[in-house]
Structure 1
Amino acid sequence: MCQVFAGQAPERYSSTTRRLRLNGQSTSIRLENAFWEVIDQIAENDDLTTPIFISTLHSEVLELRGEPENFTSLLRCACLKFLEVSAVSEPEVVAAE
């Protein structure tokens, strides 16, 4: 079983830093490439650019809970949540076809 995880391409777990603005402040976020792929997909699904999606998410979190303790962890968990929701909704799409 671990071969599925251990055998993945190293590019997936290599990190990339992207610079963007959050609430007018220039910042950088470092995530593994696999997470960037999911974040890019979430943004595309919402017809947003990735920086606008991330900035919107950050603003909504500020409004709901205040400044997040670890925003990159929140982004990783958002990716997991997106994948969970996608997995649940896919059977409905298949069933409707």
Structure 2
Amino acid sequence: MCHLYASTAPARYENTTRSVRLQGCVTSVRLENEFWEILDALAASQNLSTARFISQLYSEVVEEKGEVSNLASLLRVVCAVHLQQTADLVPDLVAMPRSACL
């Protein structure tokens, strides 16, 4: 196993539950701390609180798709898409030689 991944600090994959108001209703979202950190940064980049960012995202998805069947999964995918877009912008900074995971 690649040491980079195996040595990940447990605090990064521990879960945290936060409350969010979505279209007037309060709900709880449970995500790993790593995802909360990414969402916090995304929200801050748009001058929004994380709760407001999630609320706006939720409303936009409902408007476009009609529903959000799994909010936690949506948020994880949003984080993955964000990381992929970031990696595409700076490929040399995230490139890792295959030998690093042997």
**TM-score, normalising length: structure 1:** 0.88
Given residue 18 of structure 1, which amino acid in structure 2 is its aligned partner?
A: R
- Tell me if 1:72 matches 2:72: yes
Look up the equivalent residue of 2:16 and give its one-letter code. Answer: T
What code does the residue aligned with 1:41 have?
A: A
Give the Å deviation of 1:5: 1.1
Provide the C-alpha distance between the structure 1 equivalents of 2:50 and 2:20, rounded to a whole number of angstroms. 9
| Percentage of matched positions with identical amino acids | 49
Output the CA distance in 2 between the equivalents of 1:54 and 1:5.
28
Gaps of 5+ in 2: 92-102
Greater RCO (Cα-Cα under 8 Å, separation 6 or more): 2
TM superposition outliers: structure 1 runs of 4+ over 3 Å: none
Give the C-alpha shift of residue 90 in structure 1. Answer: 3.4
C-alpha RMSD of the superposition: 1.1
Identify unmatched segments of 5+ residues in structure 1.
92-97
Q: Which residue of 1 aligns with 2:49?
A: 49
The count of corresponding residues between Structure 1 and Structure 2 is 91
| In the alignment, structure 1 residue 6 sits paired with structure 2 residue 6 | yes
Deviations 1:44-73 (A, max 9, x none): 111111000000000000001011111110
